[in-house]
Amino acid sequence: MKKNHANINNVTDSPSLEPAFDKGLLPDALTTFDGNRIENAQDWNNLRRPELLKAFASAIYGNPLQSPSAIEFKILERNDNALDGKAIRIQGDITCKDLKLPNPFRMLVYLPKSAAAASPVFIGLNFQGNHTITDDPEILIPKWAEQKFPRGNRADRYDLDLILSSGYGIATIHNADIEPDRPDARQSGICGALLPASPKDDEAATITAWAWGLSRGLDALLNLPEVDPARVIVWGHSRLGKTSLWSAANDLRFAAAISNDSGCCGASLTRHILKDGKSETLNDIIRNFPHWFIPGLKQYIEHEEKLPVDQHELLALIAPRPVYVASAEEDRWADPEGEFLAAREASPVFRLFGHHGIPENATMPHLKESVGQGVGYHIRPGKHTVTSFDWQAFIDFMNANLKSKPDTFN
Q: What share of the chain is helix, strand, coil (3-state, %, to 5)?
A: 35, 20, 45
Instruction: Determine the Cα–Cα distance for residues 193 and 215; give it in Å rounded to an integer.
Output: 17
Residue 47: DSSP 8-state: I
Whether 384 is catalytic is yes
Angle, helices 206-221 vs 239-250, to 10°: value is 60
Q: Is 374 left (phi over 0), alpha (psi -120 to 50) or beta?
A: left
DSSP 179: S
Q: How many CB atoms lie within 10 A of CB 141?
A: 16
From 119, 238, 327, 388, active-site residue: 238
Q: Are 170 and 398 in contact (CB under 8 A)?
A: no
- Known catalytic membership, residue 238: yes
Of 325, 280, 239, the residue nearest 61 (C-alpha): 239
Which stretches of 1-43 are DSSP H helices? 41-43
First to last CA, the chain: 47
Measure the CA angle with vertex 310, ends 321 and 191; round to 5°.
Answer: 80
- Alpha-carbon span 323 to 326, nearest angstrom: 10
325: phi then psi, degrees, rounded to nearest 5: -120, 130
CA–CA gap between residue 170 and residue 111 (Å, rounded): 7
* Rounded CA separation 55/291 (Å): 19
Identify how many contiguous H helices and E strands the chain contains and give both numbers.
12, 9
Residues in the chain, total: 410
**What are the strands of the beta sheet with 71-81, ordered from one edge?**
71-81, 87-96, 105-112, 169-174, 119-126, 227-237, 256-260, 323-328, 375-380
Whole-Å CA distances, 271 to 48, 88, 214, 348, 384: 21, 45, 28, 19, 21
Residues belonging to the active site: 238, 384
